[in-house]
Amino acid sequence: MHKIEQLETKIKETLEKINIPVSSVLLNPSNRPDLGDYQYNGALSLAKTLHDNPMNIASKIVDEIKDFKEFKSVSIASPGFINLTLSDEFLIDFAKDTINNPDINYNLGIDKTIFLDYGGPNVAKILHVGHLRSANIGQALNNLCKKVGCKTISDIHLGDYGRPMGMVIQEIKTRYPDLAYFKSDYHGEEVEFNLTNEDLIELYPTATTKAKENIDIMEESRKINYELQHKHHGYYALWQKIVKTSLNEIKKIYQDLNVDFDLWEGESDNYEYMDELLAYLYDHNMIEESDGAKVIDVKEETDKLEMPPLIMIKSNGAVSYEATDLAAIWERVHKFKIDEIWYIVDKRQDLHFTQVFRAAKKSGIVDENMKLVFNGFGTMNGQDGKPFKTRDGGVMPLSELLDSVTSVCEKRIIENIKTDREKLARTIAVAAIKYADLLPFRTTDYNFDIEKFTDLNGKTGTYLLYSCVRMNSLLKKADELNITYNDIKCLTTPNEKKLLLTMLDLKRVITRSFENCSLNEICEYLYKITNIYNNFYAENKILTEENEKVKTSWLALTKLILDNNKILLNILGINIPKKM
């Protein structure tokens, strides 16, 4: 058990012995470190139930606990706060626990299976900056869920379905009418047709603009899309090629960002369940007609704002985005045993998910206890606070953003390193981007600022990496000098105690991050503990310290902080390079 939890239990049991029964004891880090490390405020709430004044109760409690070996000192502050200063022995024991089993700070004992839906890029459409946050936050939450003890299943939920697919195929057909895909006797043979991602980047906007401007083209695209959904051999084979080409590129970028999925399903896979779903919905009298559309009423009595019905099938016969998401839920709960589904999607899709969740519950597709969670996120804007654009006003492709940050890192950070420059700069750039992206609370918008994000002295991913690389090289030097260091044996300077107190608070940070589904506190925590470590590092000459016990304790502490930073950076999806 975590040392603080052990201490809480010990105090609770002591209180029971002196007839002060409490349901739980909660120790909080003190906001007055000059008075104590932790605070127990129980005497204040006990005053009412015990009909006594809080100072009396506090002093009774203090009499019982003041000689605990866990404390260096215990004191009371008006009107009944108990201030606790931990003993060095307690902190050193805690460090030992953490070295033996780092999971004591992470495992929350939650035994759930959480299904995470993030990424959500669209096939044939360029992966742009709008897709960055879903990938970063989603992957980090996935890592966090696993770390706290949950099982997870992640799904990219590819946007590979719908009319844009028809438009792209229609445009290819116009340009290359003789392709075998378009022949009536085509039955799935391999076709020599070289399609690159660059082609798609050009094809998609051209095709959609043309369709929007010309009603005949739109109609033709719609027809193609309809036939595609009914597995027209040629269209289907061409569509598969488009998906494959697009996914190859998407995978490359995700790989750079340390983003990966258990399932690479698309809306088209969910569509396979549409007939089953519709039959179920009709069976349960969920579907109504409204202006030629088929809808589900999702209003609730307590709604203050208007809640439009969820449209399953549009009046033109097309299946809606809402319907594909409902089919996705249908598929997921039928295939897997899951307790919760989390969606990491732009917060502007809030209404969409409210409708989908309500329909899923109301129709009984998921049972009442299943948690469907919309984890919306804010927008990354340009430096001017307006939507992020390229120099010429277009949407910024994610690959371009990555390249530009990589080149800044190459010039600014690793100018003196000769080998493997590109790979190294990429690792650093990813850290800079990811840390800046995860630092604001999930729903908060932020402005992209390349100089700020790569500043080696700021609250940045580059600062964290640099600090870790330095800790690493210190430990390497110690190894070369054959110094062995396993445990912390003594605490000599105030910053050492501060580091362990900060470590002691980690479990709370992890708990809140998990509850809020946001990584901001982990980012802040990493910065805080790294800063304290760097102060400690600047104050002491570790390797030349003459007292062996002090020196090895300092090295063990360094390893403790580094190992833990690695775990936290890992959760964020950030790798630490060997040099910098």
Residues in contact with ligand ARG by the rule CB under 6 A: 117, 120, 122, 157, 159, 325, 343, 345
Decide: helix, strand or coil at residue 459: coil
Decide: helix, strand or coil at residue 56: helix
DSSP class per residue in 359-417: HHHHTTSS-TT-EEEEEEE-PEE-TTSSBPB-TTSSB-BHHHHHHHHHHHHHHHT-TT-
Tokens of 323: 């319907």
Helices 421-438 + 461-480 axis angle, to 10: 130
Residue 209 CB, shortest distance to ligand ARG, in Å, is 19
Element spanning 534, H or E: helix 520-539
Residue 71 CB, shortest distance to ligand ARG, in Å, is 51
Residue 255 CB, shortest distance to ligand ARG, in Å, is 20
Angstrom distance (rounded) from CA 165 to CA 441: 35
Nearer to ligand ARG, 36 or 121 (CB): 121
Tracing tokens 């800790």 back to the chain, one arrives at 471
Residue 355 CB, shortest distance to ligand ARG, in Å, is 12
Rg of the chain's alpha carbons, rounded to an integer? 29
Nearer to ligand ARG, 8 or 117 (CB): 117
Nearer to ligand ARG, 79 or 205 (CB): 205
Nearer to ligand ARG, 118 or 466 (CB): 118
Sheet of 151-155, strands arranged across: 151-155, 113-117, 340-346, 371-377
Distances (CA, A) of 60 to 46, 87, 311, 414: 12, 21, 64, 60
Angstrom distance (rounded) from CA 9 to CA 11: 5
Tokens of 197: 């991602």
DSSP letter, residue 263: B
Residue 158 CB, shortest distance to ligand ARG, in Å, is 8
Distances (CA, A) of 63 to 13, 50, 507: 14, 17, 29
Nearer to ligand ARG, 343 or 536 (CB): 343
Tracing tokens 């088929």 back to the chain, one arrives at 294
Residue 510 CB, shortest distance to ligand ARG, in Å, is 26
Nearer to ligand ARG, 281 or 345 (CB): 345
Residue 119 CB, shortest distance to ligand ARG, in Å, is 8
Tokens of 176: 């290359």
Nearer to ligand ARG, 134 or 221 (CB): 134
Nearer to ligand ARG, 25 or 313 (CB): 313
Residue 554 CB, shortest distance to ligand ARG, in Å, is 48
Residue 157 CB, shortest distance to ligand ARG, in Å, is 4
Residue 344 CB, shortest distance to ligand ARG, in Å, is 8
Max Cα separation, the chain?
A: 93
Residue 120 CB, shortest distance to ligand ARG, in Å, is 3
79: preceding bond cis by omega (within 30 degrees): yes
Nearest to 18 by CA among 80, 76, 64, 66: 64
Nearer to ligand ARG, 325 or 496 (CB): 325
Angstrom distance (rounded) from CA 109 to CA 224: 51
3-state secondary structure 80-131: CEEEEEECHHHHHHHHHHHHHCHHHHCCCCCCCEEEEECCCCECCCCCEHHH
* Partner residues linked to 159 by β-bridges: 122
Nearest to 148 by CA among 531, 516, 465, 443: 516
Residue 343 CB, shortest distance to ligand ARG, in Å, is 6
Decide: helix, strand or coil at residue 268: helix
Residue 226 CB, shortest distance to ligand ARG, in Å, is 21
Q: What is the dihedral of CA 425, 428, 429, 435, to 10 degrees?
A: 180
Nearer to ligand ARG, 120 or 577 (CB): 120
Residue 392 CB, shortest distance to ligand ARG, in Å, is 23
Which residue number has the CB closest to ligand ARG? 120
With beta carbons less than 8 A apart as the criterion, state whether 38 and 74 touch.
no
Nearer to ligand ARG, 325 or 331 (CB): 325
DSSP letter, residue 161: -
Nearer to ligand ARG, 117 or 496 (CB): 117
* Partner residues linked to 85 by β-bridges: 73
C-alpha neighbours within 13 Å on the C-beta side of residue 49? 10
Nearer to ligand ARG, 42 or 162 (CB): 162
Tracing tokens 């910053």 back to the chain, one arrives at 495
Nearer to ligand ARG, 120 or 440 (CB): 120
